[in-house]
Amino acid sequence: MSKVAPDFDTSENNNRSTQSRIDQRKADHIKINLEQDVRSALTTGLENYRFVHEALPELDLNRLDTTLSLFGKRLSAPILISSMTGGTAEAETLNLRLAEAAQEMNVAMGVGSQRAAIEDPEQARTFQVRRLAPDILLFANLGAVQLNYGYTLDHCRRAVDMIQADALILHLNPLQEAVQDGGDTNFAGLTRKIEEVCKGIEIPVIVKEVGWGISEKTAKLLADCGVGAIDVAGAGGTSWSQVEMHRAPDDFTRQLAATFVGWGIPTAESILNVKKTAPEMTIFASGGLKDGLDIAKCIALGATLGGMAGPFLKAAAVSTEKAVEMMKLTKRQIEVTMFACGAERIGELENGKLAKVEEKA
């Protein structure tokens, strides 16, 4: 008698093995981001801009308006807790703390890739934050490349329904997949599949890079697909090739990942690329933003929201209260920026308040 297990047992074991790898990767990503220096060798490009200071702003700091409406919800400030985590017990704690803080501050939040929970429904709870944040603008998240590996519109709907999301992020990470051990590298024909999701799903689709920015060509492709927003996630912050370098299983993969520490399109340039190619597109700016001043600069360049991950993740690792404190500080930094450059409402930051720093000869 054959000692080979029945087919369904083999499949179940393979699924368990795949899920175990995903779980371990999630845990590695959190640990590495909290403990290692994984910054890009590039800067965001935001340092090349400064606000025009107004010594007589004719404004009351405590009566400025930072609110905005997006996807049918009203936000207190243009702050996005960028997609970070999920799929592990630690990630559940972090997500719940971030969501609780977002609820208190009335800002937007994205969860990390929900593939772990699609593959293993028991992981869904680590992403389900509505129980603590019933009112926030919340974004579901899947890797766009999974549409080339068996994922369909139904999987997208499952991710949205899982967390009662207001919009769906499809993230693009070709370089990360290329340097990751066993990465999913078939990005061929993905534009058409993104377009099909945009046409078939009932909520806005946001396409997001993960840290290497958006070119003019990509911006046009995405606009033609009908996406509701583009998160440029430019170079200048976390480099996921550096993250993968720290978890590489061998020296070959480690050297491969290390090669690309200086790769990408800086955040400021990415915003301008989208504005030039798709002027009506809603833009989210992320990638190396460190405070409310950076967010304000991104708004002035044409973004609607400014997203940060690392500062909020580190705060949430301590407590919900720390996360709230960080969000309050970020909001106040935006307000003081508006006050000192004479902008009464958040939308006024685009009205000639920002100047390009002249390059030194």
Query: What is the rounded average pLDDT of the residues 156-174?
Result: 98
The C-alpha atoms of residue 75 and residue 86 are separated, in whole angstroms, by 24
Q: Give residue-wise pLDDT tens across range 255-299.
A: 999 999 999 999 999 999 999 999 999 999 999 999 999 999 999
* Res. 196 pLDDT band, cuts 50 70 90: very high
> What burial letters (b/e) apply to 220-255, b meaning 16+ CB within 10 Å?
bbbbebebbbbbbbbbbbbbbbbbbbbbbeeeebbe
Residue 306 pairs in a beta bridge with 79, 285
Can you read off the two tokens belonging to residue 195?
């377009």
Torsion angle, CA of 146/289/264/40, rounded to 10 degrees? -100
φ/ψ of 170, rounded to 5, equals -110, 115
Q: Which value, to the nearest 10 degrees, does the dihedral of the CA atoms of residues 278, 280, 282, 285 take?
A: 50
Give me the residue spans of the domains in the chain. Answer: 7-356
Give the whole-angstrom CA distance, residue 310 versus residue 275. Answer: 26
Pick the CATH number of 7-356 from 3.20.20.70, 3.90.550.10, 3.40.50.970, 3.40.47.10: 3.20.20.70
Model confidence at 129, pLDDT cuts 50, 70, 90, reads very high
* Nearest CA-CA partner of 317 in 128, 95, 104, 138: 95
The DSSP 8-state label assigned to residue 128 in this structure reads -
Cα 347 to the center of its chain, rounded Å: 22
What CA–CA distance (Å, rounded) separates 119 from 58? 56
Does the pLDDT value for residue 142 go beyond 70? yes
SS3 67: coil
Q: What are 4-30's pLDDT values in tens digits?
A: 233 333 344 444 455 555 556 556 656
Do residues 327 and 312 lie in contact, with contact meaning Cβ atoms separated by under 8 Å?
yes
Q: Is 71 exposed, middle or buried (0-12, 13-18, 19+ CB in 10 A)?
A: middle
Looking at residue 12, its pLDDT comes to 47
Pairing of strands 138-143, 108-110: parallel
As a whole number, mean pLDDT of residues 161-185 equals 96
What's the pLDDT at 176? 95
**β-pairing, 354-356 with 49-51?**
antiparallel
pLDDT of residue 225: 98
Our CA dihedral for 265, 267, 269, 272, rounded to 10 degrees, sits at: 130
pLDDT tens by residue, 104-124: 999 999 999 999 999 999 999
CA–CA separation, 307 vs 337, rounded Å? Answer: 17
pLDDT tens track for 46-70:
999 999 999 999 999 999 999 999 9
| Amino acid in the structure at residue 58 | E
> What confidence tens digit (pLDDT) does each residue in 228-263 have?
999 999 999 989 899 999 989 999 999 999 999 999
